[in-house]
């Protein structure tokens, strides 16, 4: 039975990955901070899909939490989904340095450390995959969130290139606006986002798994966002940043 470890597994895209992979017959390791929610999610998945589900409560913005997840990954995992993340409300310059550093710890350091923890075993077995959840924001300019997700895309592509010729894959997943708890937790006003731009987490995961299967290094789910990313590369970066800021937040 193949195995998968998913961070940020109790809601949104992480929970959608858990459902999809359980349906595909993966045994799961679910990682999040809230042990009660983890336990509830695990029980639901066991009952519905009949798969083994392990829970690992860990705060990935702490060295202790990262260390425990690294240790679990070194025991052997076939698919790692680095999904945990968060956003800040308001303008970038209004966010404290401490909060910005916490974001970088989760979006960059955690992705790096967990990927490096799992890859040696995958390379030895010559099979396995890592999906690093980034964002369409990676292709636009909007503060530390955008910059951190751009790092995830660059790092994923670079690592995938180094693994060329093996059966180990690394892919950055770059969804647009997805109906999850993400914006609510960040106290973001989403009233200015047009309804047609919203995606479902299950649709995002379905397209991600398809792109992983065909060997894509960057997955941008949904034709609408493929067009947006393509158009963003053609217009001046200052204009793209202005549109992004006005669309994403009031």
- Mean pLDDT confidence for 233-245: 58
| pLDDT tens per residue across span 113-151 | 999 999 999 999 999 999 999 999 999 887 899 999 999
Residue 182 confidence (pLDDT): 56
Range of the domain at 202: 3-248
The mean predicted confidence, pLDDT, of the chain is 90
Name residue 81's beta-bridge partners: 6, 131
pLDDT at 248 over 80: no
Residue 88 confidence (pLDDT): 80
| pLDDT tens per residue across span 202-211 | 999 999 999 9
CA neighbor of 172 nearest in space, from 129, 206, 203: 129
Active-site option among 49, 145, 155, 225 = 145
pLDDT at 238 over 70: no
Residue 60's CATH number: 3.40.50.720
pLDDT at 27 over 80: yes
The residues near 93 (Cβ < 8 Å, ≥ 6 apart) are: none
pLDDT at 44 over 90: yes
- Mean pLDDT confidence for 149-175: 98
Residue 126 confidence (pLDDT): 98
pLDDT at 102 over 50: yes
Residue 242 confidence (pLDDT): 55
Q: Please report the sign of the dihedral spanned by the C-alpha atoms of residue 20, residue 155, residue 111, residue 243.
A: negative
Residue 165 confidence (pLDDT): 95
HSE toward the beta carbon, residue 88, CA cutoff 13 A: 22
Measured CA to CA in angstroms, residue 126 lies from 91, 158, 169 at distances of 44, 18, 10
Task: Return d(Cα 117, Cα 29) in angstroms, integer.
Answer: 15
| pLDDT tens per residue across span 175-198 | 998 876 555 554 455 556 667 688
- Count of domains in the chain? 1
Residue with tokens 């609510």: 184
Whether 225 sits among the annotated catalytic residues: the reply is: no
């Amino acid at each position: 039975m193949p195995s998968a470890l998913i961070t940020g597994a109790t809601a949104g895209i992480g929970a959608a990955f858990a459902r999809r992979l359980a349906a595909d017959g993966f045994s799961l390791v679910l990682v999040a901070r809230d042990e009660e929610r983890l336990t509830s999610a695990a029980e639901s998945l066991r009952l519905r899909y009949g798969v083994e589900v392990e829970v690992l409560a860990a705060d990935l913005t702490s060295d202790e939490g990262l260390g425990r997840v690294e240790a679990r990954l070194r025991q052997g995992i076939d698919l790692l989904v680095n999904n945990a993340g968060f956003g800040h409300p308001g303008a970038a310059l209004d966010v404290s340095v401490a909060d910005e550093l916490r974001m970088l710890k989760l979006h960059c350091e955690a992705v790096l450390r967990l990927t490096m923890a799992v890859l040696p075993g995958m390379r030895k077995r010559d099979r396995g995959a890592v999906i690093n959840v980034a964002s369409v924001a990676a292709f636009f300019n909007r503060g530390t969130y955008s910059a951190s997700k751009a790092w995830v895309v660059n790092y994923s592509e670079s690592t995938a290139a180094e693994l060329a010729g093996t059966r180990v894959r690394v892919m950055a997943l770059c969804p647009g606006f997805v109906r999850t708890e993400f914006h609510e937790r960040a106290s973001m006003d989403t009233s200015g986002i047009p309804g047609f731009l919203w995606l479902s987490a299950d649709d995002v995961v379905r397209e991600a798994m398809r792109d992983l299967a065909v060997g894509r290094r960057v997955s941008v789910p949904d034709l609408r966002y493929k067009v947006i990313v393509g158009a963003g590369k053609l217009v001046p970066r200052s204009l793209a940043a202005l549109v992004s800021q006005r669309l994403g937040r009031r």
